[in-house]
Amino acid sequence: MKYKRILVTGSAGFIGFHLCRRILERYSDVEIIGIDNMNKYYNPVLKEMRNNILKKHENYTFLKLDFSHYDRLVENLKDRDIDLIVHLGAQPGVRYSLKDPWAYERSNLLGTLNIFEFARRFNIDKVVYASSSSVYGGNKKIPFSEDDRTDYPISLYAATKKANELMAYTYHHLYGIEMVGLRFFTVYGEWGRPDMAYFKFAKSILLGKPIDVYNYGKMERDFTYISDVVDGIVSSMERSFNYEIFNLGNSKPVKLMYFIELLERYLGKTVKKNLLPMQEGEVVVTYADLRKSRELLDYNPKVSIEEGLRRFCNWFLENKEWILKL
């Protein structure tokens, strides 16, 4: 790894945790400074548990910090000789952005501006940041390619992610910072996010509760297993670019009903399904075109939905005592 002191924002989050763990396990000469505000959008006990695993590594330093406060960011990080930022911290979730849009304004707009300003002020050459497949909105043309128009976000969450890509371009143009945006497609796996549908489904299946299935189950998602996403992030850190955006998906959309069937199979129980109409802000299909990521990142997702869900369900079953209380 050509970078030696990496700032990872959202390090106690799902993707941040897996990325930090990968780097700490594979590169003994790399130090990570992780920041997270441990907010309560979903149960912070899970964030604490992930963070405790990371803290066992001597090359991991954790600071509980909210990056929507610029002065605190500067005060705590200015003398730390950071040579790369991987900005994964954000207010995620499409549905919640209809309830509390200000949380998205603070973390995703102001927070990301603060991170980019910090990079400019302290001469950090490169920022890798999280975008989302949700920027493709209701696009009809599939698979979604990085060249497609993304001017019609259908949730505020998507609008903030699109705004991040535009802000990144400006910081690249004005200050020459290398900016790499990664559009993740429905990432799932062990230590995942309890607010996401697959996690809620697994919980309900084990508790014997019915699940809400929107658009009467007629949806497809390009589910991407966490280790494949981490491969893509690491590759985007190691290669040099100017300003780029990459899809990190699986390019194999899965029908929601088949997905639920797999969960039932690996958890060993069936579930009652409440078939409901489509929810505001959601899209019917996500499907990543990976030609650019394959070519420039050598990105090649390896874990099938069957294998990924089998691993997730095994982890879930082994830890169900505490997971079911989340």
Ligand X SMILES: NC(=O)c1ccc[n+]([C@@H]2O[C@H](COP(=O)([O-])OP(=O)(O)OC[C@H]3O[C@@H](n4cnc5c(N)ncnc54)[C@H](O)[C@@H]3O)[C@@H](O)[C@H]2O)c1
Interface contacts to ligand X, rule CB under 6 A: 10, 12-16, 35-39, 47, 66-68, 88-92, 107, 111, 130, 132, 184, 186-187, 193
Select which of 157, 188, 198, 287 is catalytic: 157
Which residue, 55 or 269, is less far from ligand X as judged by CB?
Answer: 55
Do 8 and 36 contact (CB within 8 A), yes or no? Answer: no
- Please choose, from the candidates 253, 254, 248, 236, the residue with its C-alpha nearest in 3D space to the C-alpha of residue 300: 248
Q: Of 11 and 176, which has the nearer Cβ to ligand X?
A: 11
The DSSP bridge partners found for residue 60 are 32
Q: Supply the minimum distance, in Å, between the C-beta of residue 208 and ligand X.
A: 27
Which residue from 238, 254, 244, 221 is spatially nearest to 298, judged by alpha carbons?
238
Element (H, E) at 255: strand 254-255
Question: Ramachandran region of residue 193, left (φ > 0), alpha (ψ -120 to 50) or beta?
Answer: beta
Nearest residue to the partner ligand X, using Cβ = 13
Of the two residues 28 and 99, which places its CB atom closer to ligand X in the complex? 99
46, 90 Cβ separation under 8 angstroms = no
**Are 29 and 3 in contact, with CB atoms under 8 Å apart?**
no
| Among the listed residues 178, 294, 148, the one whose alpha carbon sits nearest the alpha carbon of residue 228 | 294
104 given a catalytic annotation: no
Token pair recorded at residue 167? 């802000």
Q: Give the pair of three-digit tokens for residue 56.
A: 């066992």
What is d(CA 320, CA 153) in angstroms, rounded to the nearest whole number? 36
CB nearer ligand X, residue 86 or residue 208 = 86
Distance CA 273, CA 6 (A): 44
Quick check: 263 and 273 in contact, CB under 8 A? no
* Other Cβ atoms closer than 10 A to 183: 24
Q: Report which secondary-structure segment, H or E, holds 274.
A: strand 273-275
Instruction: Report the residue number, 181 or 205, with the smaller CB distance to ligand X.
Output: 181
CB of 189: closest distance to ligand X in angstroms? 9
Cβ proximity to ligand X, 196 vs 257, nearer residue: 196
Report the catalytic residues.
Answer: 157
